[in-house]
Amino acid sequence: MSHGQEILGPPLGSREQAEPLIRDAIIHFREAKRATIQVMADLRRLQDGQVHVLYGYANFSKWAEDNFQGLAAGNVRQLCRAGAIALELDRRGLIDLRNPQGVGTTGLRELSTVAGTYGDNKMAEVFVTAKGMIEPDAEVSGTTVESAMRLLMPPADMDVVEKTDDLTKSTDAEELEDSDDEEYPPKVNELLDRIRDLSWEIPDDEPMSELIQTILQLKRELKGKVSDADQEWLDSSR
């Protein structure tokens, strides 16, 4: 046996022997998926309620990282974005958060990009369209959402969605790299949290070119390149 080689257990002898294990695994998988979506929604509720302020934190992601063992700040942001979509779909009666079915975590993440670009109404339309494209007992995935968007939106608008998604992912990656290399004072962490919120709360009727420019501006903020005009824009948005 070579160094590091994994030792596997004895193989199953028949399909009859395998079926109980498969059933258990499927049940556990479904329970885990349901719990994940519920945690997404719970975190978003806590973020919306500014629970971190009650405990003396300037940053919700940092509060969650300190209180949920094994949860990184970067993951908190992604979970909260998806959680906002789960809450909105539940509010519209499109899913039931007590037993969320019909949508997966990748679908929620992709829908969050649609909502951030076009608003909740378009997001809900895309979800309903995606549901109509799959079998009744299947779930909406990220791929299904992309297909629904291509059905509903002209090619030029789809280019904007993809470019916006790429810019947002790039911003998240840079935030995570920065957070690994240096410690920020509380005031800077508060500003970073504000920037993350702004990148997903841009008004729905804002032109797409301005949306992209705003995200680029937020990236400059994260690098510390804040101009007087940028600061006036930040102050006016509060």
List the pLDDT tens digit at each of the 238 positions of the chain: 555 667 777 888 888 888 988 899 988 888 888 899 999 999 999 999 999 999 999 989 999 999 998 888 888 988 999 999 999 999 999 999 999 989 999 999 999 999 988 999 999 999 999 999 988 888 999 999 998 998 887 665 555 555 555 555 555 544 444 444 445 555 445 545 544 544 444 444 443 444 455 555 555 555 665 455 545 544 554 4
In a domain, 232, yes or no: no
Parent domain of 200: 24-224
Long-range contacts made by residues 119-128, C-beta under 8 angstroms, separation at least 24?
119/204, 120/88, 123/85, 123/88, 124/88, 124/89, 124/92, 124/94, 125/152, 126/152, 127/89, 127/94, 127/103, 128/94
Q: For residue 23, give Cα distances in angstroms to 11, 42, 136.
A: 18, 29, 21
Domain assignment present for 15: no
Q: Which residues pair with 140 in a beta bridge?
A: 103
pTM: 0.62
- Rounded to a whole number of angstroms, the distance between the first and last alpha carbons of the chain is 63
Task: Please report whether residue 9 resides in a domain.
Answer: no
The dihedral built from the CA positions of residue 23, 89, 36 and 161, taken in this order, carries a sign that is positive
- For residue 12, being part of any structural domain is answered with no
Task: Decide if 238 is inside a domain.
Answer: no
Give the pLDDT confidence score for residue 163 in this predicted structure.
56
* Structural domain contains residue 176: yes
Residue 11 lies in a domain: no
Domain count, the chain: 1
Q: Is 71 in contact with 65 (CB distance < 8 Å)?
A: yes
